[in-house]
């Protein structure tokens, strides 16, 4: 079968071995995959020909032999450990959940990494009803999920973006304020929660607004810069809580199938929209991937098979 593997100048299609599901795994035919910024970074570190792929949407071709999980023919979305960028993949039913017929393949593929990361980040943030939450990188894949889930939980959402063009649609998704990082750093005014993945100066600028007893949740360092905070960063904020979330660590302690099902339910109820910014073909992925690399994708980038 074909798979999208790492190459010197981006992913390329190659022939790989068919998956051989264990008795506790279903065989899934893949129809769409989402590409994450983390996978672009990983691709640069792995030897050419390496398999990748976390976000998968497809149809169960063969149910798990042990009888667990959905039957053949069920449409599913799934979080793969790797190897998801392929025509077929063996997956534990603990990593997937059915999706309704009304959800298209790109939307289903856009959910797992971004949706679960946002869901878990906001769990670390604690109760959100009536609290103010600053979200950096709000225009990106995870950011757009965070904005919607925080607003749905009753927070006052302050969405931060790098430039006005990245703000597209954020108010409609539930952001009460949309500002650039510079405007946010200059704004002052205490906030209860900061959720950051950008890191560096953006994190430092937004951190200045976190109140004593507030919460900082980090899940990335996109700019790959060291963090410099003022000397009194902690003394000025007694009771501050800091969490760092790593999705593939979280999933070892959580029910991915249940949490994916919660996200699918929110989508089905119209309370969460998987924002798909670009859909490309996996046989010509570069235009869509370039939009992601160049910070032009206001949401998720999806490839269809």
Ligand X SMILES: NC(=O)c1ccc[n+]([C@@H]2O[C@H](COP(=O)([O-])OP(=O)(O)OC[C@H]3O[C@@H](n4cnc5c(N)ncnc54)[C@H](OP(=O)(O)O)[C@@H]3O)[C@@H](O)[C@H]2O)c1
List interacting residues with ligand X (CB under 6 A): 36-38, 113-114, 117, 137, 139-143, 161-162, 166, 197-198, 219-220, 222-223, 245-247, 292, 295
Nearer Cβ to ligand X (215/222)? 222
Nearer Cβ to ligand X (26/167)? 167
Q: Which residue is nearest to ligand X (CB)?
A: 140
Give the separation between CA 13 and CA 146, rounded to whole angstroms: 33
Nearest approach in angstroms of CB 17 to ligand X is 28
Q: In Å, what is the CA distance from 281 to each residue of 55, 66, 278?
A: 15, 34, 10
- Degrees to nearest 5, angle at CA 143 with 141 and 147: 130
Other CB atoms within 10 Å distance of the CB of residue 261: 16
Closest CA to 202 of 231, 182, 217, 175: 182
Nearest approach in angstroms of CB 140 to ligand X is 2
Nearest approach in angstroms of CB 200 to ligand X is 8
Nearer Cβ to ligand X (137/184)? 137
Nearer Cβ to ligand X (246/271)? 246
Nearest approach in angstroms of CB 167 to ligand X is 8
Tokens coding 15: 């022939």
Give the neighbor-by-neighbor strand order of the sheet with 156-161: 177-180, 156-161, 132-135, 191-196, 210-218, 241-244
Nearer Cβ to ligand X (41/65)? 41
Nearest approach in angstroms of CB 275 to ligand X is 10
DSSP class of residue 19? Answer: P
Nearest approach in angstroms of CB 23 to ligand X is 30
Nearer Cβ to ligand X (38/69)? 38
Give the separation between CA 160 and CA 12, rounded to whole angstroms: 34
Cα-Cα-Cα-Cα dihedral of 283, 273, 254, 73, to 10°?
-60
């Amino acid at each position: 079968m074909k798979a999208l593997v790492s190459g010197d100048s981006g992913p390329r299609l190659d022939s790989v071995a068919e998956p051989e599901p264990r008795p506790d795994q279903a065989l899934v035919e893949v129809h769409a995959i989402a590409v994450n910024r983390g996978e672009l970074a990983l691709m640069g570190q792995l030897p050419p020909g390496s398999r990748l792929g976390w976000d998968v949407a497809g149809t169960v071709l063969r149910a798990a032999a042990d009888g667990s999980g959905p039957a053949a023919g069920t449409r599913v979305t799934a979080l793969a450990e790797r190897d998801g960028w392929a025509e077929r993949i063996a997956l534990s039913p603990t990593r997937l959940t059915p999706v309704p017929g009304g959800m298209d393949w790109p939307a289903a593929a856009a959910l797992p990494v971004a949706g679960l990361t946002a869901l878990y980040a906001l769990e670390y943030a604690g109760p959100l009803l009536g609290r103010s939450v600053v979200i950096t990188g709000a225009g990106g894949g995870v950011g757009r999920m965070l904005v919607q889930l925080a607003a749905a939980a009753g927070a006052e959402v302050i969405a931060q973006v790098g430039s006005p063009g990245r703000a597209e649609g954020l108010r409609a998704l539930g952001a009460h304020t949309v500002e650039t990082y510079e405007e946010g750093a200059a704004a002052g005014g205490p906030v209860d929660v900061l959720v950051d993945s950008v890191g560096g100066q953006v994190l430092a600028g937004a951190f200045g607004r976190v109140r004593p007893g507030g919460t900082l949740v980090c899940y990335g360092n996109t700019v790959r810069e060291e963090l410099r905070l003022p000397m009194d960063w902690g003394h000025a904020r007694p009771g501050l809580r800091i969490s760092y979330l790593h999705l593939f660590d979280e999933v070892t302690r959580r029910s991915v199938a249940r949490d994916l099902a919660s996200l699918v339910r929110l989508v089905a109820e119209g309370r969460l929209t998987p924002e798909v910014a670009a859909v490309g073909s996996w046989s010509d992925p570069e235009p869509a991937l370039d939009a992601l690399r160049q910070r032009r994708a206001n949401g998720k980038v999806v490839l269809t098979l």
